[in-house]
Amino acid sequence: MMEGQISFIEELLDSEVVEMKKDVDIDVDYISGSKAMQMLDVSRHAFEKLVKDGFLVAREAEGKKSYKMTDIKEFMQTEKYQELVNVYEALGATTKRLEKTEILSDFLKTVDAEDLEKISCFMASKGTTSWLCSVLTDTQEQTEWCIEQFKAHKVMEQNGAELAGIHLEGPFLAPEYKGAMPEHLLKKNDIPLVKRYQELAEGNIRYITISPELEGVQDMIPTLKELGIVVGIGHSGATYDEAMSAIAQGATVGTHVGNAMRLFHQHEPAIFGAVMESDVYCETICDGRHLVPGSVRMYAKCKGLDRIVAITDSIMAAGLPDGNYHLGVNDVVVIDGDAKLASNGTRAGSTLTQDVALKNMLKWLPNTLEEILPTLTENPAKEMGLFDRKGSIETGKDADLVLLDEQANIVHVFARGKQVK
């Protein structure tokens, strides 16, 4: 979904709406922002987001901003505007938060694959040249809809970061470590379902997170690998022996290690201890919330930087202001950039971007930039089986390049040889 549409709809849930007035002079060439808000029937904050996200362009003269009447008229005739109006009318007809959430959920299902391109361009601006979209545990219908949107995006002209595959975060996850996953949709094992998803995705499900202690789940691992899917363990209360058995079966990744998993105890090292001891990749969310600096240093020392993969685990709120958002079927509240479930305060993904992750690692670790960079480049490419064309600068590989200044600020970004920033 486009960032502008996301933020605009979020505003419809909570903002006071400017009443439509009938006395707007539609014969003038330019009108003020307040008149434009009256025509569009939106709140001030929502209007400002429309301008910020490029739906409307302001002209400034003598210190005042105005808006071209023809632009507003054209926008009001677009399908997107009509969709937003319909959603607003439905939201305005109820005061119940649950009903509003259901209305918003139905609207999200109508958003086309073009919106993934906006996300890809945003990610490229933050230094990411390839990414996986995580599909959270959901109904089969909604999961298949997400896969269809991925496929539609793949055949479009892409001008941002490459959407390199799908990460299924579930549904084979432990209820007690479900995090933001809806418990009633979790499953123990179902290889036919995964085969169906992979066939529908035309082989583009690249990664799945499972809980190895669940009945029958470890037996799935060899088949998952045959399907071309990298297996990660996480959202799990697995014992040390259960986790090590899964690794022996072919699991190669610890999913966002230290979060949504059973932690180390001297009498039961658990899944955390198995990840630390073994050679699996250790995914690390370097936002200072999911992991504090000391934890990141410990991971790096225990695993070695060659087994650390710096991830964002970002949700739709990344790059957007604090406020109310959604993660799957859940309401999420973001305060000071920290995303938590509105229902119980459980942390629900992050708002981290990779440029910030890199700077955090440079501050927290004693290593040089050259030593840290593979955690964001070479290691994730190897983790996901993409190192034949991603992760390093070599002849024949994709020309994915990020140019930094001496303070590690992003200067230019190239994705597949095309400059995107």
Partners of 324 in beta bridges = 333
**Which pLDDT score, from 0 to 100, does residue 54 have?**
66
- Asked whether residue 397 is assigned to any structural domain, the reply reads no
- Asked whether residue 332 is assigned to any structural domain, the reply reads no
Residues 86 and 124 in one domain: no
Instruction: Let me know the angle formed at the C-alpha of 72 by 71 and 76, rounded to the nearest 5 degrees.
Output: 120
Indicate whether 12 pLDDT > 60.
no
Percentages of the chain per state (helix, strand, coil), in multiples of 5: 40, 20, 40
Indicate whether 211 pLDDT > 60.
yes
Mean pLDDT of 124-145: 92
Task: Please tell me the number of Cα atoms within 13 Å of 96 on its side-chain side.
Answer: 4
Q: Which residue has the higher pLDDT, 161 or 36?
A: 161
Domain that holds residue 9: 3-94
Residues 23 and 126 in one domain: no
CA distance 16 to 18: 7
Radius of gyration of the CA atoms of the chain, in A: 23
- Asked whether residue 180 is assigned to any structural domain, the reply reads yes
* Residue whose entry in the numeric block shows the structure tokens 């799935």: 220
Asked if 408 and 359 count as a contact pair (C-beta separation under 8 A), the reply is yes
Q: Which residue has the higher pLDDT, 109 or 228?
A: 228
Residues 64 and 141 in one domain: no
Domains: count for the chain: 2
* pLDDT tens digits, one per residue of 236-266: 999 999 999 999 999 999 999 999 999 999 9
Q: Which residue has the higher pLDDT, 127 or 115?
A: 127
Residues 147 and 228 in one domain: yes
**Which pLDDT score, from 0 to 100, does residue 6 have?**
46
Whether omega for the bond prior to residue 171 falls within 30 degrees of 0, making it cis, is yes
Indicate whether 13 pLDDT > 50.
no
Mean pLDDT value across the chain? 86
**pTM assigned to the model:** 0.75
Residues 279 and 162 in one domain: yes
Catalytic residue among 313, 331, 355, 398: 313
Report the percentage of the chain scoring pLDDT > 90.
57
> Which of 65, 94, 123 corresponds to the end of one domain?
94
Residue 313 a catalytic site member: yes
Asked if 321 and 338 count as a contact pair (C-beta separation under 8 A), the reply is no
Residues 143 and 176 in one domain: yes
**Which pLDDT score, from 0 to 100, does residue 59 have?**
80
CA distance 186 to 286: 28
Residues 240 and 288 in one domain: yes
> Which of 34, 62, 94 corresponds to the end of one domain?
94
CA distance 362 to 340: 26
> Which of 28, 61, 94 corresponds to the end of one domain?
94
**Which pLDDT score, from 0 to 100, does residue 318 have?**
85
- Asked whether residue 66 is assigned to any structural domain, the reply reads yes
Residues 288 and 161 in one domain: yes
